[in-house]
Amino acid sequence: MTRFLPWAALVAGLGILGTGSPYLLTLAATSALAIMVAIALNVSMGLGGSVNLGVGVFYGCGAYGAALLNTKQGYSLGASLVVAVAIAVVVSLIVGPLLLRTRSLYFAISTLALNGIFVDIVASNDDLGGELGIPGITRPGPLPFFGEDGDPGSLRTMYLLICVALVAVLAVFAAIRGHRVGRTLEAIREDELLCQSLGYTTLGYRVFAFTVTAGLAAVAGVFYAFVIQYVNPGPFSFLTSSFQAFVIVAVGGAARTWGPILAGIVLVAGPSFLEFSATTNQYVYGGVLLAIVIFLPGGLAAGVDRLARGGAATTSSLRRTLARLKHTRESEGELS
């Protein structure tokens, strides 16, 4: 039963926020989107171990795709979701195998470059809105039980849909993490050479993780376009999107299901609800980030775990198995 407790808490928390003012709803919705992008990143960075600093590209693909489809072709939210996510997945399948030839920091830098190229293209191309962006995205009508009067402008409806998407994206992450594929990804993260020698096509798994990240980030992007009703290059630059997602994953605890939620609350939702000045906000952001990364190497999720277990640190069974396997292989190597 206890494994459903966090889910219940999440749904309850989102529900309570849903009764707030339009201002509160907008803050909650944008925080939820930032967390969603981080959960997406957690697949390739947390499980797969590839530090991807270009998740903003796919977040942007979703948002720009939805904005163009809605304003130019009149696509609804649902249709845009399908088409824009498909575009992001195709893009990731093209660039993924190329970029994933590089490793560790080289991969991080090449994805960073990808983000730079994306922002430069959308900012320079007038068909994509240029610096001014694309305004005038129409939200879907309010849900039947709200009625036109109960939800003017459909903000509450959008918030509710974003909450559903957040829970769904988190469930996808939890499912992958628990599945054989997720375990293989974690093994590749720990020792790629060992996995190759066991017969796994590691590049295939890494491309899979990269693509899942792209698809889930694009989902967040589509909802961004429909809730804000305006897209411009700013929110998809490295500093505001990819950097933020990377920090949320690192602070929450890589590969941990609840890490991005915890870190998102501490780093994104908390400061915006407390309404500091912009400068104070930056100090708090940088300071909290440094403090957690230095003193809690496993992230907030590991910290919460340790509290729950009364202070004892845990070693994952995966690490122990890998160490044993490696040891066996090495001693076999000595014999032959």
How far apart are CB 235 and another protein at their closest, in Å?
Answer: 17
What is the Cα–Cα distance from 255 to 246, expressed in whole angstroms? 12
Partners of 230 in beta bridges: 135
Please report where in the chains the tokens 């992958």 appear, as a residue.
Answer: 176
Work out the number of other CB atoms within 10 angstroms of the CB of residue 168.
13
Count of helix runs (H) and strand runs (E) in the chain: 16, 2
- Cβ neighbours of residue 188 closer than 8 Å, sequence gap 6 or more: 48, 49, 195, 200, 202, 205, 206
DSSP-based three-state secondary structure for 134: strand
Residue (of 123, 129, 124) closest to 237 by Cα position: 123
Q: Does 323 bind another protein (CB under 8 A)?
A: no
Using the minimum distance from each CB to another protein, give the nearer residue, 159 or 246: 246
Among positions 247, 255, 261, 301, the unique one binding another protein when judged by CB under 8 A? 247
Q: Does 51 bind another protein (CB under 8 A)?
A: yes
Q: Does 109 bind another protein (CB under 8 A)?
A: yes
Q: Does 201 bind another protein (CB under 8 A)?
A: no
How far apart are CB 102 and another protein at their closest, in Å?
Answer: 6
Binding characters for another protein, 272-311, by CB under 8 A (x = yes): -------x--xx-xxx-xx--xx--x--------------
Binding segment toward another protein, per CB under 8 A, in 10-18, 27-35, 117-125, 214-222: 117-125
Q: Does 34 bind another protein (CB under 8 A)?
A: no
3-state helix, strand, coil in the chain (%, to 5): 80, 0, 20
Q: Does 102 bind another protein (CB under 8 A)?
A: yes
Residue count, binding to another protein (CB under 8 A): 41
Q: Which of residues 169-188 bind another protein (CB under 8 A)?
A: none
How far apart are CB 115 and another protein at their closest, in Å?
Answer: 9
Work out the number of other CB atoms within 10 angstroms of the CB of residue 334.
7
Provide DSSP, 196-244. Answer: HHTT--HHHHHHHHHHHHHHHHHHHHHHHHHHHSEE-SGGGSIIIIIHH
Q: Does 141 bind another protein (CB under 8 A)?
A: no
Residues that bind another protein (CB under 8 A): 45, 51, 98-99, 101-106, 108-110, 112-114, 116-117, 120-121, 123-124, 238-239, 243, 246-247, 250-251, 254, 279, 282-283, 285-287, 289-290, 293-294, 297
